[in-house]
Copies of this chain bind each other. A is one copy, B any other.
Amino acid sequence: MSRRRTGAARVKATIYSIAKELGISASTVSRAFSRPDMVNNEVRERILATADAQGFELNRAARGLATGRTGLVGVVVLDITNPFFPPLVRAIEHAANEADASVLLLDAESGGRDATEQLKRLSSQVDGLIVASPRIPTNALKEAIGNTPTVLVNRTISGLPSVVCDNTAALRQAADHLVQLGHQKFLLLRGPSGSWAATRRTAAVRDWAKTAPDDVELAELGPFEAAFETGQEAAQRIADTDATAIIAFDDFLACGVIGGLADLGISVPHDRSVVGCDDVLLARTVTPQLTTVTAPFDDLGRRAVAMLTDVTRGETPGDLKLPGSFVARGTTADAA
């Protein structure tokens, strides 16, 4: 379309076609885009104008071949369908765009193929990787990424930088909040075994229990998959306990529990209080809204991209912890 703007620009616009029209060298045209400060102001203006007129779009493949960089960051998520990931992906995309990079998405579960195989292919196509995929085994992951700069999200592997959400303090707050509401019998629903987040959250709640008032009792159930159905199915077992305060691994599980309890005629927060974790979309679209711990998705994504940039520059960032924050909503109330 834009090619028709000028009569001269019948051919595909390249740095050469621009150079020719302006009677200058392609090197200069190239520099006008890759290192603008290296070229004379006025010349640059004319180049940009001509580029525009010709409908020039820099050929990324050519640049990539010449520089060895693709301008792409690979984002690997466990399952884009899990509402935890979209806000993260969006934040990453936003940050990447600001750095003039694009996001190559890989849904680790979407492939018929082995996720590791796919990851390996991906690695060679991107400048760096942001991996938010708690399930890929450490060794497979390490092998697949080779020496592609990588930042982990919500997972730690020695030797790789990571940015994680630390909910320890927020979970303590959540528990304290329940104590203030008069709860004494607590039930922790543990997350999937082998999940980094699950381990941390369990530890946080147990640690809290040690310093809790004497009349507080903490029981546990699990591990559970982080899924609605899982929570729903667990409702009976939960109802069989005398716990009034339930701390679920995540929002999914929490919502499932609430649904399952409802089926049993047990009402939240009237009969039991439930708190989730992550504050995914779900948490605000159930009625009543879920009391939970908010994950700082924006920051997680932003910082992950920033760290990746550092790695690319040869720096060796450490691990970064961002705190989640407790938010009391409708599923916690006075102990019955």
Contacts and interface: CB of A to CB of B under 8 A. Distances in A.
Interface in A86-134: 86-87, 89-90, 93-94, 97-98, 102-107, 109-113, 118, 120-125
Interface stretch (A37-45, A218-226, A284-292, A319-327): A284-292
A208 B302 CA distance: 48
A256 B284 CA distance: 10
A94 B65 contact: no
A60 B125 contact: yes
Contacts of A113: 97
Contacts of A282: 281-282, 285
A147 B1 contact: yes
A143 interface: yes
A70 interface: yes
A80 interface: yes
Contacts of A146: 1-2, 55
Contact of A259 (B80, B112, B287): B287
A89 B97 contact: no
Contact of A60 (B98, B112, B124, B256): B124
Contact of A93 (B1, B59, B107, B284): B107
Contacts of A216: none
Contacts of A123: 57
A192 interface: no
A90 B94 contact: no
Interface of A: 1-2, 55, 57-62, 64-65, 70, 72, 75, 79-81, 83, 85-87, 89-90, 93-94, 97-98, 102-107, 109-113, 118, 120-125, 143, 146-147, 228, 252, 255-256, 258-259, 262-263, 281-282, 284-289
Given A75-B105, A93-B107, A256-B285, 4 more contacts: A83-B86, A94-B111, A102-B125, A252-B285
